[in-house]
Amino acid sequence: MNTMNRRMEIINILIIRRHITTNELAQELGVSTRTIQYDIQALSPDYPIYTKPGENGGLFIREDYKPYNNSLTKTELKNLLEIYEQMEGIHKEVIFQVIHKYGPDKLEI
């Protein structure tokens, strides 16, 4: 994964999870914590990312930052949910990620 793809993945992870530690990101993306720190430093001017120290600390993205919120129409969502129910394995996981990313906030599947 190149630098640009990794940084976009960091943003996507933060959008979906809202919070993650530097160590967790480094492990998940297969890089050092120093690389993640450089990435966050590079992303911070363009995205509302912030860090919080301490026991419940880590990397956060502002709660009101939701670039994909409700971008699927009701018909699109309904059809994707029907497809999701029929899928298995990695295909089901990808459909879930699309629904979660572009569907209504806090969608429960």
Look at residues 22, 37, 61 and tell me which one is the last residue of a structural domain. Answer: 61
> Looking at the structure, do residues 28 and 7 belong to the same domain, yes or no?
yes
The predicted model scores a pTM of 0.63
Q: Which domain range does residue 17 map to?
A: 3-61
E strands within the chain? Answer: 19-20, 49-52, 58-61
Contact 34, 26 (CB under 8 A): no
> Looking at the structure, do residues 82 and 107 belong to the same domain, yes or no?
yes
The pLDDT confidence band at residue 106, using thresholds 50, 70 and 90, is: very low
Non-local (6+) Cβ contacts of 89 within 8 A are none
- The pLDDT tens digits of the residues spanning 66-79 come to 776 557 777 888 89
Tally of domains within the chain? 2
- The pLDDT tens digits of the residues spanning 11-58 come to 989 988 889 999 999 999 999 999 999 999 999 999 999 999 988 899
> Looking at the structure, do residues 7 and 57 belong to the same domain, yes or no?
yes
> Looking at the structure, do residues 39 and 78 belong to the same domain, yes or no?
no
> Looking at the structure, do residues 80 and 102 belong to the same domain, yes or no?
yes
